[in-house]
Amino acid sequence: MAKFSSIKQHLYRKIASGEWPENHPVSSENALAQQFQVSRMTARRALQDLADEGLVVRTQGSGTYVAQIKSQTSFMAIRNIADEIRSRGHNYHAKVQVLRQEKVVDQIAELLNLTVGEKVLHSVITHFENDLAVQVEERFVNPQLVPDYLRQDYTQMTPHEYLCEVTPLTEASHEIEAISPRPQVCQWLDLDRPEPCLRIIRRTWCADGVVTYAVLTHPGSRFRLGGHLSFQSARA
């Protein structure tokens, strides 16, 4: 494992320093195996991990190349939307649409590792940038891990801020897709008529299990997906 980590850190440094820019060829499995005196399988695993993280692209018969970083950055971090909006010098506020406890249904129960019929905590919050709705955040929270979730004022603190404070995250998964929003979402986004939206589906974990399942919906005319990627905090 120490040598596997050394290979990944070596590759991280090459990319982060700019020595290997976008589309630059990455050392082959054979070269890495020889350089670090490991098996080819270990070298392949290190390269595949970087490919899974979106940092390199592997093409059969061609080799491995540094990915176009700008196209991957949205997958690399979980950010607080209030901080993002304020960092642009804009005004942020939120409107709580739903905040309640309810019985969990099949799909949500499976995603949160709960039993159907158990209680789940449900919130829907619209986030505004300069009085324009830019995101609807629908979130289902495991009450066993965050029992005080419903007692917070989410006009003063985002769910992201609260959850990071009480249950430090250890893992997350993302799915991104283009959708046509249902009428209720259009209402929450203050849309006069349906328009294409971008939906981010996210599950988060802490050391004790699955914390939340969240659906973040953004109107296409008001939202651009992007960000900045830093390699300095990367871990093998």
Kindly list the domain boundaries of the chain, sorted by start residue: 2-73, 77-222
- Pick 146 or 53 by higher pLDDT: 146
pLDDT at residue 206, as a whole number: 84
Q: Measured between alpha carbons, how far is 33 from 30 in angstroms, rounded to an integer?
A: 5
Q: pLDDT confidence of 226, banded at 50, 70, 90?
A: low
**Where does 53-92 have alpha helices with state H?**
81-87
Average pLDDT over residues 173-179: 87
Q: According to CATH, what is the number of the domain 77-222?
A: 3.40.1410.10
The model's pLDDT over 49-98, given as tens digits with 9 standing for 90+, comes to 888 777 888 887 788 998 875 433 344 456 789 988 887 788 999 999 99
How high does pLDDT run on average in the chain?
85
Q: pLDDT confidence of 35, banded at 50, 70, 90?
A: very high
| Dihedrals phi, psi of 62, to nearest 5 degrees | -115, -40
CATH 1.10.10.10 describes domain 2-73:
yes
Q: pLDDT confidence of 186, banded at 50, 70, 90?
A: very high
Backbone angle region of 37, left / alpha / beta, with phi > 0 → left and psi within -120 to 50 → alpha: left
Q: Measured between alpha carbons, how far is 139 from 164 in angstroms, rounded to an integer?
A: 15
pTM: 0.65
